[in-house]
């Protein structure tokens, strides 16, 4: 067979295959053109039927036509009778596009166009039709959003369409939302059976419908609605408690990150480092600086800020230890005053070099938004990442302390410094590395904090006192104690704040810690060793 005959057969086969498709497309265009022209010429009473007929054609362009009609941007060219969509209706000349092909037709004088008028009642009808169209999309989340938008806006005609759609829907969440939309309509008509459907719904629109029924004139309907509302209120309390626990754990994770570095340095060296908060601040400003160096790439900047924040804070911590703290060992009061002075210097340095104003760090898209558990509970992603980050940092420190030579030496110096020296451990070297490690972790805390709050010169001051409370409550130098204490204090503080206020809640937490220390002076997890006993 020659190459020409083969090509001829391929072309013939393609024509035979495309022929029916082209014919179908032509029929679809002819049907759409007729419907659009009828819509332009119809009166208000006839338009609703035509709009529904357009939505039922299955044409992918139907949504665009309906949106144009709702926005008053569907028009007809007076000379030719062609239906067009107005793209820009500013000025004397309007930019238009062909309604069927979507081709841009350029500009035309508005005097040569006759727009299709639409009133508010018709717009509401179109919204309902668009929602029904959205119920047929392939994305389950899109169908769920469309069903949620219908709550409280269902009439008798739309209810029939939703019932037909409910029979075809396979996704359980979408089915439940459609059932709620239908039930709200039925409840408004006085149907008591609809209460059984709405009794477990946490949606505000469903609760509003039940509340209206509970205050209605029908005693039986009001009693059933009140009972359903009581059940919903109980579920809301459980979800509110779960939300409080989540926010408490996220706050506790921040406290763990802020305090875990302090626990290491305080446990090994016995140093009360009041500049620890400023090391946290340096980590946060490092994140902001990375975003200035990589504009438009907040995700990459955040990832690079993790090692950068650690290094910046660690180097600053080593500089503090070598320049000040090494000369004040064994004198905790002098160390406290000296580090407090360093904290003031660092704050003023940031105000002078950068700005006294707060800086905003952009949150990457993959950390934005929330995970919706149900209608009453959603978990913000940035806090979820902070919790996970705190656990990863904690696990990393545990591996360092348990599986490395540095960790062994740190534990030895913590338990008995004199004995560790006699065994050949260089305590000075351990002090430097430990202080650098603890300061670097403080920098990591600053990186995490930059995603949930503004970055400013006073950022660290908001967490230094809480960090010391976590260290003392958990047990000086004990990482597990810091984790448990940080999560516990964060949760307790979050529980107390709603009814006691932020300031009084912190006072109550401080009083609880004082009472606890009276009973257990060494915290939840006390150190072991001769030095600890002393």
- At 153-196, the pLDDT tens digits run 787 777 887 888 888 888 888 888 888 888 888 888 888 888 88
Indicate if the pLDDT at residue 1 is higher than 60.
no
Tally of helices (H runs) and strands (E runs) in the chain: 21, 7
Cβ(30)–Cβ(49) under 8 Å? no
Above pLDDT 70, what percent of the chain?
90
Q: Which of 118-127, 137-146, 308-317 has the lowest mean pLDDT?
A: 118-127
Structure tokens at 287: 């994140």
What is the band of 282 on the pLDDT scale with cuts at 50, 70, 90?
very high
The strand pair at 377-380 and 370-374 is best described as antiparallel
Separation CA 478–CA 468 (nearest Å)? 13
Q: What is the mean pLDDT of residues 112-125?
A: 75
All structural domains of the chain, each given as residue ranges with its CATH number in brackets, are 3-121 (no CATH), 122-237 (no CATH), 240-355+380-533 (1.10.3470)
Q: Quick one: pLDDT at residue 524?
A: 76
Q: What is the pTM of this model?
A: 0.73
Q: How far is CA 102 from CA 65, 81, 95, 465, 474, in A?
A: 11, 16, 12, 64, 67
What rounded mean pLDDT belongs to the chain?
81
Helix 427-449 and helix 219-269, axial crossing angle in degrees, nearest 10:
150
Give the residue among 109, 113, 20, 31 at the shortest CA–CA distance from 65: 31
- DSSP letter (8 states) at residue 215: T
Average pLDDT (207-222) is: 86
Q: Is the pLDDT of residue 19 over 70?
A: no
Bigger pLDDT: 270 or 352? 352
Q: How confident is the model at residue 4 (pLDDT cuts 50, 70, 90)?
A: low
- Most distant CA atoms of the chain, gap in Å: 103
Place of tokens 């912190």: 506
In this structure, are residues 368 and 381 in contact, taking their beta carbons and an 8 Å threshold? yes
DSSP string, 257-304: HHHHHHHHHHHHH----TTHHHHHHHHHHHHHHHHHHSTT-HHHHHHH
Percent of the chain with pLDDT over 90: 13
pLDDT band, residue 21 (cuts 50/70/90): very low
Q: What is the mean pLDDT of residues 452-457?
A: 87
User: Mean pLDDT over residues 38-53, rounded?
Assistant: 72
Placement of tokens 């958990």 in the chain:
474
Query: Minimal CA–CA distance to 94: which of 80, 78, 112?
Result: 112
Structural tokens at position 288: 């902001």
Closest by Cα among 355, 340, 204 to 271: 340
Q: Who's near 105: CB < 8 A, 6+ residues apart?
A: 84, 96, 97, 98
Please give the Cα distance from 90 to 102 (Å, whole number): 20
């Amino acid at each position: 067979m020659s190459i020409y005959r083969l090509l001829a057969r391929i072309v013939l086969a393609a024509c035979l295959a495309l022929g029916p498709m082209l014919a179908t497309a032509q029929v679809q265009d002819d049907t759409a053109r007729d419907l659009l022209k009828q819509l332009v010429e119809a009166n208000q009473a006839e338009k609703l039927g035509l709009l529904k007929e357009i939505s039922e054609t299955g044409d992918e362009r139907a949504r665009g036509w309906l949106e144009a009609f709702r926005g008053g941007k569907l028009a007809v060219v007076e000379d030719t009778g062609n239906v067009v969509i107005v793209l820009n209706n500013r000025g004397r000349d309007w930019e238009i596009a062909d309604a069927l092909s979507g081709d841009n037709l350029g500009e035309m004088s508005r005097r040569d166009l006759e727009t299709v008028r639409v009133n508010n009642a018709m717009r509401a009808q179109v919204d309902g039709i668009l929602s029904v169209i959205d119920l047929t999309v392939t994305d389950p989340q899109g169908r769920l959003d469309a069903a949620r938008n219908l709550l409280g806006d269902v009439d008798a005609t739309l209810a029939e369409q939703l019932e037909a759609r409910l029979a075809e829907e396979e996704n359980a969440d979408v089915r439940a939302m459609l059932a709620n939309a239908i039930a709200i309509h039925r409840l408004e008509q006085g149907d008591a059976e609809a209460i059984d459907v709405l009794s477990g719904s946490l949606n505000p629109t469903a609760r509003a419908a039940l509340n209206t029924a509970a205050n209605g004139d029908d005693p039986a309907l009001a009693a059933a609605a009140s009972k359903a509302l009581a059940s919903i209120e109980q579920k809301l309390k459980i979800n509110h408690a779960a939300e409080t626990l989540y926010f408490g754990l996220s706050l506790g994770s921040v406290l763990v990150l802020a305090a875990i570095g302090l626990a290491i340095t305080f446990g090994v060296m016995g140093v009360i480092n009041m500049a620890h908060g400023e090391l946290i601040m340096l980590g946060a400003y490092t994140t902001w600086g990375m975003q200035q160096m990589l504009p438009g790439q907040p995700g990459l900047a955040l990832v690079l800020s993790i090692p950068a924040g650690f290094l910046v804070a660690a180097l600053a911590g080593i500089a503090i230890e070598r320049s000040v703290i090494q000369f004040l060992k064994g004198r905790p009061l002098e160390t406290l005053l000296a580090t407090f002075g360093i904290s003031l210097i660092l704050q003023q340095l940031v105000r002078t070099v950068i700005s006294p104003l707060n800086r905003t760090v952009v949150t990457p898209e993959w950390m934005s938004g929330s995970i919706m558990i149900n209608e009453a509970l959603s978990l913000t992603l940035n806090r979820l990442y902070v919790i996970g980050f705190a656990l990863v940092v904690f696990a990393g420190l545990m591996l360092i302390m348990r599986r490395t030579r540095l960790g062994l030496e740190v534990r030895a110096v913590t338990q008995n410094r004199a004995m560790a020296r006699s065994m050949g451990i260089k305590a000075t070297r351990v002090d430097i590395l430990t202080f650098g490690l603890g300061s670097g972790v403080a920098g990591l805390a600053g990186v995490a904090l930059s995603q949930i709050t503004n970055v400013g010169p006073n950022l660290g001051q908001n967490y230094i006192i809480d960090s010391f409370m976590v260290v003392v409550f958990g047990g000086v130098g004990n990482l597990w104690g810091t984790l448990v204490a940080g999560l516990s204090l964060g949760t307790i503080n979050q529980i107390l704040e709603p009814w006691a206020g932020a300031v009084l809640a912190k006072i109550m937490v401080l009083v609880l810690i004082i009472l606890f220390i009276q009973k257990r002076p060494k915290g939840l997890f006390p150190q072991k060793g001769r030095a600890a006993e002393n």
